[in-house]
Chain A
Amino acid sequence: MIRTGTLLERDRDNEKLQRIIADFPILARPTSRGKRLVYLDSAATSQKPRCVIDALVQYYEQYNANIHRGVYEIAARATDEYERARVKVARFVGASPSEIVWVRNTTEAINLIAYSWGAQHLRRGDAILLTELEHHSDLVPWQLLAERSGAHLRFLPVDERGVHVLDDLDGLLDGCKLVALGHVSNTLGTVAPLETIIPRAHAAGAIVAVDGAQGAPHLSLDVHALDADFYAFSGHKMLGPTGIGALYGKKALLDAMPPFFSGGDMIRRVRYENTIFSDPPRRFEAGTGNIADAIAFGVAVEYLQNLGMSWVREHERALTAYALERLAAFEPRGLAIYGPRDPDRISGVISFNFADIHAHDLASILDTEGICVRAGHHCTMPLMAKMGWSATARASFYVYNTPEDIDVLCAGLEKAATVFAR
């Protein structure tokens, strides 16, 4: 059904896909209504492969100990695995391990930038440039930073398809200290033209912080080549556990930044009167870290690396193309598809509404068929208001989704049409 490559390639691909699906225990569990689980909400959180789940259990069963302290064997192993995970995650995005700060999630990473770098650099009259697509977590922290610093926010517009409009980019960058934007829109799937925006932001004297929550799981990344100053991402959207994420920051930036949280494990020397802090990344990692989840996050990126990120991208591109084609057949009956509608410009996310069926009702009816989609404002209320949508349904894809999942989704839409035809 995926219409790329030769028949032989497709068959081989299908075998690979079946092996991947078998790695995810949850996908083998029927729903309470006896339906196959059709998980189309990976933009909210991804499912976890067996190896990630096993890594969590192994830590707690075999070498549970605190890190960076103990001299005994299991403490040394915990420290070693924790730091090895940092190396894996760093390699995955093309960074050095010293440039990777463990955080809880993307939101915490953005707050870290806002409180640490932001407090140091932003003054009254400075501008922060965001885009109209931003998730609340890449908007609210900057609103608060603007309030604290006297800086003001500007917004790079998007067109009615949710595509960035760059016509006045240089004007918007004038007087800008910081550009913060999502790599991929969680609502519409739009991939931001970072390769255009980042150099122009730098030329204007601004640094660029990328919200990579929807980027890192889906796209091949080389943060050095991209020349992003910060890149934030969450483990749980990329096959890893919840509660762990990473902030990439250029070494020179991190070196010059004050701590965000303070306490144990981030110090070099403490006197009653004052403290000398550790070098990054540990300067930003106060308190006992999320050891098990960091280690399992390392296993998750290893799993993705084994699949190959170019395979992941191509798989999602093909699924998106197939879904757009199937969904288009519902348009005469009132289905509205939002976003760029171009599989090359979106990353595994399709937002839609179906006739007069509210997105929540649609999601409830799909749920009875074992289909998981998100409905609502997707934490982008200003974008929804701009577009005039009160809610949309959103299907999002990942490595374990198949063309059959999209067929089931379409059968679910038929059912919803029947229910609402009464």
Chain B
Amino acid sequence: MDDFYRDYILDHYRNPRNFGTFERADVEAEDLNPLCGDEIHMQLQLDDGVVRDVRFSGKGCAISQASASMLTETVKGMKLSDVAQLSKQAVLDNVGIGISPTRMKCAMLGLRVLKSAAIGRLAAWPDEE
């Protein structure tokens, strides 16, 4: 698990991409991991059903924050309907290294919030689908 904390993970943790809030978003969602209290808020601006821009805010561990940060880069330019279909694997591909089962929820929180924004209701945990 200590291998997980690669340079790029720590970089995303300390310098999160697309971090902040829009004054106006087309869709948004937030959630927290009740086990640890990590929080993520995601906002999307759309053009014709395509993600034009994205902002996230929140607080939590390196895994939850870096995973969310990397996801914001993934979804820019993506169709909202495709965002709704994103699977656990999208996050695992981003972070690139094994996550222990005890930390899986941390990694999946950002994706869950993003999918919730896309479908307009609280999405299932991606690792439980």
Contact A390-B60, Cβ < 8 Å, known A356-B14, A376-B36, A377-B36 = yes
B52 at the interface (CB under 8 A from A): no
Contact at A391–B2, with CB atoms within 8 Å?
Answer: no
B122 at the interface (CB under 8 A from A): no
- Nearest A residue to B2 via CB reads A368
Residue count of chain A within 8 Å CB distance of chain B: 21
Contact at B14–A361, with CB atoms within 8 Å?
Answer: no
Contacts of A384 in B (CB 8 A): 37
Residue count of chain B within 8 Å CB distance of chain A: 22
Contact at A422–B37, with CB atoms within 8 Å?
Answer: no
Contact A381-B37, Cβ < 8 Å, known A360-B61, A360-B103, A422-B10 = yes
Residue in B1, B14, B36, B59 whose beta carbon sits within 8 Å of that of A365 in the complex: B1
B23 at the interface (CB under 8 A from A): no
Residue in B2, B6, B7, B35 whose beta carbon sits within 8 Å of that of A364 in the complex: B2
Contact at A420–B37, with CB atoms within 8 Å?
Answer: no
Contacts of B62 in A (CB 8 A): 357-358, 361
Among residues 354 to 370 in chain A, which have CB atoms less than 8 Å away from a CB atom of chain B? 356-361, 364-365, 367-368
A419 at the interface (CB under 8 A from B): yes
Residue in A364, A367, A381, A390 whose beta carbon sits within 8 Å of that of B59 in the complex: A390
B63 at the interface (CB under 8 A from A): yes
Contacts of A391 in B (CB 8 A): 36-38, 60-61
Contact at A419–B37, with CB atoms within 8 Å?
Answer: no
A391 to B65, CA, bound (A): 14
A375 at the interface (CB under 8 A from B): yes
Contacts of B102 in A (CB 8 A): 364
Closest Cβ–Cβ distance, residue A31 to chain B (whole Å) = 12
Among residues 156 to 191 in chain A, which have CB atoms less than 8 Å away from a CB atom of chain B? none
B44 at the interface (CB under 8 A from A): no
- Nearest B residue to A365 via CB reads B2
0/1 string, A369-385, CB within 8 A of B gives 1:
00000011100010010
Contact at B10–A364, with CB atoms within 8 Å?
Answer: no
Among residues 63 to 108 in chain B, which have CB atoms less than 8 Å away from a CB atom of chain A? 63, 100, 102-103, 106
Closest Cβ–Cβ distance, residue B107 to chain A (whole Å) = 11
Contact at A420–B35, with CB atoms within 8 Å?
Answer: no
Contact at A359–B1, with CB atoms within 8 Å?
Answer: no
Q: List 13 A-B contacts (CB under 8 A).
A: A358-B60, A360-B60, A361-B5, A361-B62, A364-B100, A376-B36, A390-B38, A390-B39, A390-B60, A391-B38, A391-B61, A415-B2, A422-B6
The interface of chain B, by Cβ under 8 A from chain A, is 1-2, 4-7, 10, 14, 35-39, 59-63, 100, 102-103, 106
Besides A356-B14, A361-B5, A415-B2, 11 new A-B residue pairs in contact (Cβ under 8 A), listed by A number:
A357-B62, A358-B62, A359-B61, A360-B38, A361-B63, A364-B103, A365-B2, A390-B60, A391-B60, A420-B5, A422-B5
